[in-house]
Amino acid sequence: MPSNLLTKRDVLTGEHFITGDVACAEGAIAGGCNFFAGYPITPSTEIAERIARRFNQMGAVFLQMEDELASINGILGGAWGGCKVMTATSGPGFSLMMEGISHAVMTETPCVIVDVQRAGPATGLPTMVGQQDMMQVRWGAHGDFEIIAYTPNSAQEMFDLTYKAFNVSEKYRVPVFIMADEIIGHMMEKVVIPPADQLPVFPRLKPRNAHTPDYRPFEPEYGLIPAMPCAGEGYRVHVTGLTHDERGYPEMTVEAQERLIRRLTDKIRLNVDEIVEVEEYQTQDAEYLVIAYGISSRTSLNAVRSARKLGIKAGLLRLITAWPFPEKHLKRLAGQLKGVIFPEINMGQMVREVERCLRNGVPVYPISHPGGTIHEPEEVLEKIRKVAQQ
């Protein structure tokens, strides 16, 4: 790969009227992305289309792969070749990527994976909205692992969070996910892109002692995170999905598994307060809390405002970070709550995390929706009213 790829960016500074998918592609470029491997699938195809056109102008690398299995492995190879990498897909393709995602976790490969969710299972409703992959992103791959997943609720956040995902993936050497939904992906809104000098790119962490005889490429140098030597840069490195020691060589012992997996999980768990983001609206005195993410949070905000006009003390907790789940924020509010309402465009997924966190008796009321359309504000408002009347 050309060495100048890591620093070459073409940030389209200014105000734009674009879709969430296009904003996502621009956020990737702002974050330093210079290698994309993917396979077109509705409703994420526009991301790949935009990237293909923009990368051709930039001299970066776009590969249309034969399927999503090749796509996920392609970006992992690109990352180890020194690039900042991304792929984009939807539900069926996301399922095919699970083994590669597990490999990315084990090899600590920084990458960004965008899932523009549609209604499933199987082929489902390819052009219609869903939020049905939220548990899959956390638990779909095999083994114990931690990931970071963002849930944008606007075209602006498709840009902002994709840009941020690249920096976060490098900082923690972990896959970072953009869990959008079809409406956010296809919604056209104003997006403000700052100048490049206001969009710093987190540098790849380089080894400090790579050329010494006892060099250990998987020994943590930055807290719990190792530096990342890349192929072709003169480092001696061995990358494997097997349980490995700090040299990167397989070590088939319980002790090695304990040491490695605890570090891989702790590097996220011990930094939850820094990673997790939420947005709160009128939660200070809220007795009835609506929790939502993605497009559902926009209709829920309208419902909460209407409830306030009716004299109901409602508030909104919007998940910006779905994983790690922001349980500290929820538990902080738990003592004042009489009920929690959770609209999701699925049959009840993230609501399970709420139920897990609120074991103190606060009742939780899901508003389940199997996909294809959104929750109308009136539907959420009616649920708030019924809960408040109990």
Q: 3-198 with 279-389: one CATH topology?
A: yes
Q: Determine which helix (DSSP H) or strand (DSSP E) holds 17, and give its type and residue range.
A: strand 14-19
Cβ burial 334-358 (10 Å sphere, 16+ → b, else e): beebebbbbbbbbeebbbebbeebb
What percent of the chain stands above pLDDT 90?
Answer: 90
Average pLDDT, the chain: 95
Find all residues with CB under 8 Å of 185, minimum gap 6, and list them.
19, 20, 21, 24, 43, 44, 46, 47, 116, 158
- pLDDT for residue 100: 98
Would the pLDDT of 382 be above 80?
A: yes
Confidence of residue 339 (pLDDT cuts 50, 70, 90): very high
Q: Which fold has domain 3-198?
A: Rossmann fold (3.40.50)
Residue 5: C-alpha distances to residues 9, 83, 291 (Å): 8, 7, 41
- pLDDT for residue 7: 47
DSSP-assigned letters across all residues of 249-317: -B--SHHHHHHHHHHHHHHHHTTHHHH--EEEES-TT-SEEEEE-THHHHHHHHHHHHHHHTT--EEEE
Lowest mean pLDDT among 25-29, 218-222, 350-354: 218-222
Domain at 279-389: CATH code: 3.40.50.920
- Domain segments of the chain as ranges: 3-198, 279-389
Secondary structure class of 71 (helix, strand, coil)? helix
Can you tell me the mean pLDDT for 262-285? 98
Q: Please report the sign of the dihedral spanned by the C-alpha atoms of residue 223, residue 135, residue 183, residue 322.
A: negative
* CA separation for the pair 133, 276 (Å, rounded): 19
- pLDDT for residue 3: 43
- pLDDT for residue 237: 83
Would the pLDDT of 49 be above 60?
A: yes
Would the pLDDT of 243 be above 70?
A: yes
What pLDDT, in 10s, does the model give residues 356-374?
Answer: 999 878 999 999 999 999 9
Confidence of residue 4 (pLDDT cuts 50, 70, 90): very low
Neighbours of 366 (CB within 10 A): 21
* CA separation for the pair 334, 316 (Å, rounded): 13
Would the pLDDT of 352 be above 80?
A: yes
- pLDDT for residue 214: 79
Sheet strand arrangement including 339-344: 278-281, 314-319, 288-292, 339-344, 364-368
Secondary structure class of 390 (helix, strand, coil)? coil
What pLDDT, in 10s, does the model give residues 198-212?
Answer: 999 999 888 877 667
| Residue 347 phi, psi dihedral angles, 5° rounding | -95, 20
* CA separation for the pair 181, 120 (Å, rounded): 12
Lowest mean pLDDT among 85-99, 194-208, 240-254, 281-295: 194-208
What pLDDT, in 10s, does the model give residues 175-188?
Answer: 999 999 999 999 99
Cis? peptide before 121, omega within 30° of 0: yes
- pLDDT for residue 267: 97
